[in-house]
Amino acid sequence: VQLQASGGGLVQAGGSLRLSCAASGRTSTSYTMGWFRQAPGKEREFVAALAVFRWSDYNTYYADSVKGRFTISRDNAKNTVYLQMTSLKPEDTAVYYCAADLSSVISTVPRRYEYWGQGTQVTVSS
């Protein structure tokens, strides 16, 4: 599975950005797509995940720090997962990574994800 993340950029506090993660290669009817982020000097942390089972059913899960502000969604036709980020704060500044695992069990632990995309920088100015 290859993952290509895009959509990062510079935005003022209170603004919005939408990240995209396009997947290609091996497919599965059950999988989990996750977004993580890593700020300088900090560990990679979980942001949001979307678990799909039997193609149509899915669950989502968010870190408390982004709940109500970020939304993860998918477009099956485009094999793409999105992270819509609103009400951005300076503390959201980080490199954002998308990740995939071929199971439908959501995990917040980075090592549980087998496939990773390159990061995309999100910078929120105050």
Rounded Cα distance between 32 and 49, Å, is: 7
Q: Which two tokens stand for residue 105?
A: 């069990």
Residue 91 has a pLDDT of: 97
Residue 3 has a pLDDT of: 96
Intervals of the chain under pLDDT 70: none
Residue 124 has a pLDDT of: 98
Residue 106 has a pLDDT of: 93
Residue 29 has a pLDDT of: 80
Asked if residue 88 lies in contact with residue 15, where contact means CB atoms within 8 angstroms, the answer is yes
| pLDDT tens digits, one per residue of 91-103 | 999 999 999 999 8
Residue 14 has a pLDDT of: 98
Residue 5 has a pLDDT of: 96
| pLDDT tens digits, one per residue of 61-73 | 999 999 999 999 9
Residue 119 has a pLDDT of: 94
Rounded Cα distance between 93 and 119, Å, is: 13
Rounded Cα distance between 88 and 118, Å, is: 22
